[in-house]
Amino acid sequence: MSAQTGQPSLYDRLGGIYSIATVVDDLIDRVMNDPRLNANPAVNEAHHKVPPAGFKYLVTEMVGWAAGGPQKYTGRSMVDSHRDLNITPKEWDAFMDDLQQALDKFKVPAAEQAELKAIVNSTYGDIVIGKS
Ligand code: HEM
């Protein structure tokens, strides 16, 4: 339960770690194979250097943690892991489109989609170039 609102945490409303891992699995497959993202040479190189399973593990851990679950994120910071990738606002939009498709595929309800997207959007300044 969330201390502030008295309603179950986003983590619980999403269905816990099995549901989160399922959505992340689908999302990362989309992102790693998205020609709109792999057109960026730095992203393309990094995407083909990291094993998908480890990438999925870290993103699952991070979403679990950010949604109020018991996980602790053990990966690098968003600034450190994206600094050299030169990610543009257009590429960010492509990522959000992939996220939307993954959320819709698994029929995540609108309220939970909005909360999850707000969490993801809060990382914009750490990931997209032009802001520090
Ligand atoms: C256009 C958007 C994005 C692109 C193209 C992108 C691409 C990448 C790539 C290529 C890596 C591997 C970097 C490396 O190891 O050299 C990475 C790492 C990572 N990204 Fe992203 N990313 C994007 C947005 C996001 C968002 C929105 C999140 C979460 C809110 C996220 C979470 C992570 C995590 C957890 C890692 C692993 C960090 C680590 O290695 O410890 N990314 N990303």
Domains of the chain from N-terminus onward: 10-127 (1.10.490.10)
* Interatomic CA distance for residues 30 and 101, integer angstroms: 9
Compute the distance from residue 1 Cα to the ligand 1 centre, in Å: 29
DSSP 87: B
Average the pLDDT over 6-33 and give the result. 97
Compute the distance from residue 55 Cα to the ligand 1 centre, in Å: 8
- Inter-residue contact 20 to 67 (CB < 8 Å): yes
- Inter-residue contact 129 to 82 (CB < 8 Å): no
> Ligand 1, closest atom to CA 73?
35
Q: 52-86: per-residue pLDDT in tens? A: 999 999 999 999 999 999 999 999 999 999 999 99
Q: 23-52: per-residue pLDDT in tens? A: 999 999 999 999 999 999 999 999 989 899
Going by alpha carbons, the residue nearest to atom 26 of ligand 1 is 120
Q: Is 0.85 surpassed by the pTM of this model?
A: yes
Mean pLDDT over the full length of the chain: 95
